[in-house]
Amino acid sequence: VFHAYGHQWPCQLVYHPRKRVGFGFTDGEGCERAWGELYPLIPSLRVAGHHRRLFTLDAQLLHLNIKSMYRLAIWLARRMRTCQKRLIEASQGVNECRVDVGTLRREWLAQLTAQTEDAPRQSKHLADRALAEIILERAWVKEAESGIKDLAIQIVKLEESGEDATNLESELAKMRTALVQTKGRLITMEKAVGVEGRSKLKTLMGNPYLQARMNARALKARIRAKLVEHKFERTKLERVYRRQVLQEKEHAQTKALIHRRQGGIAALILKYNKLVDEMTALRRARKAPAKSVLPHKLDSKKVFRLDVNDGLWEEDPGLGDEDFQNLPRWMTDDNVRKGILFLLQRDRCLEE
């Protein structure tokens, strides 16, 4: 339970008790209260013997157990009332978001998968690996095109002879579909690296400009992922301030985490801008491929405003096309985001 508080956002997604199945409204406060009752014994037990220390702790815990039994019914009634109130609020919230429960659960699982996977990292051989993959894909496209031509000839011959060519036609349709998908993937890969369709890729192996470009692309994706985590953490803190339900210590932990995260993101932005400077110098030295476009630098002051019109969230011609067409609903739809929170609260209420 305590691992989630004041830790990185992926840890909060996985370990936070409000997001874990079976935890109900358990939040570790029972451990805190037990420690608070045992804490005053530290000065006297520091100078006590081993067996006296064990006897004193056992006696204190037995006393706390007996004392809590007298208040058990009141505690249960209070928990029940709180749980029923939260259940009504959560059920109303799920209904008002106008998104079915199945969709909310799928989006929640998609968010977990997306925000707990490793962000792309820089590598000395990132561009070379991308070029090697493009070479393999181009070879597969050539083979597929040749195979489609052969199949088409066979189908014509079978039809001329009056034989059934249904199986070959089905296979031909599958090959054409696979070819279209591969060509689309190949175009995306080529734009990511920044090469044209007829470029001789083997001559570009080890090109320092392409290496810097791929590293800048990976670094920009990492900055975006960190900012998304920062946005969710800040939203959580703002919600806490509005409701005033957490203790001051947990406020301080969350605020300290956000300040640390801002420093880390600023360092990544500085590193990204240095890569852009390196690409500029390489282009001046004529070590960049023909028709290459330099990426834009990032402004750390504007980035933390989380403005959707900021250059970070737009496609940069200098880094190639990016897939912004099918953004997940858990990221773009306010109703889905609110619905997920209410759904998780409803699940914890039912468990409690």
Query: What pLDDT digit, counting tens, does each position of 251-286 carry?
Result: 555 556 566 667 777 888 888 888 888 888 887 887
Domain boundary among 49, 82, 116: 116
For residue 214, give the 3-state DSSP assignment. helix
Report if residue 233 sits inside a domain.
yes
Q: Based on the structure, what is the number of domains in the chain?
A: 2
Report if residue 64 sits inside a domain.
yes
Q: Are residues 211 and 307 in the same domain?
A: yes
Report if residue 337 sits inside a domain.
no
Report if residue 298 sits inside a domain.
yes
Does residue 126 contact residue 174 with C-beta atoms inside 8 Å? no
pLDDT digits (tens, 9 = 90+) for 333-344: 889 989 999 999
Domain boundary among 64, 89, 116: 116
Nearest C-alpha neighbor of 341 from the set 235, 248, 226, 250: 235
Does residue 308 contact residue 229 with C-beta atoms inside 8 Å? no
Q: Are residues 131 and 90 in the same domain?
A: no
Residues 6+ apart with CB under 8 A from 158: 164, 165, 168
Crossing angle of the two packed helices 50-70 and 72-96, in degrees rounded to 10 = 70
Report if residue 1 sits inside a domain.
no
Q: Are residues 150 and 295 in the same domain?
A: yes
For residue 200, give the 3-state DSSP assignment. coil
Report if residue 339 sits inside a domain.
no
Q: Which of 22-36, 189-203, 245-259, 323-337 has the weakest average pLDDT?
A: 245-259
Nearest C-alpha neighbor of 90 from the set 33, 16, 25: 25
- The residue range of the domain holding 210 is 123-332
| Burial status of residue 94 (CB atoms within 10 A of its CB: 0-12, 13-18, 19 or more) | buried
Q: Are residues 106 and 146 in the same domain?
A: no
Q: Are residues 133 and 262 in the same domain?
A: yes
Give the pLDDT of residue 245: 46
Q: Are residues 184 and 158 in the same domain?
A: yes
Report if residue 141 sits inside a domain.
yes
More confident residue, 95 or 267: 95
Report if residue 2 sits inside a domain.
no
b/e per residue, 9-21, with b = 16+ CB within 10 A?
A: beebbebbbbbbe
More confident residue, 163 or 46: 46
Q: Are residues 76 and 110 in the same domain?
A: yes
Q: Are residues 97 and 235 in the same domain?
A: no
Q: Are residues 215 and 313 in the same domain?
A: yes
Query: Residue 213's pLDDT band (boundaries 50, 70, 90)?
Result: confident
| Portion of the chain with pLDDT greater than 90, in percent | 20
Q: Is 249 a residue whose pLDDT tops 70?
A: no
Q: Are residues 265 and 186 in the same domain?
A: yes
Q: Are residues 223 and 87 in the same domain?
A: no
Q: Indicate the residue type of 145.
A: E
Query: How is 14-65 classified by DSSP, letter by letter?
Result: HH-TTTSTT-TT--SHHHHHHHHHHGGGHHHHTTS-HHHHHHHHHHHHHHHH
More confident residue, 23 or 51: 51
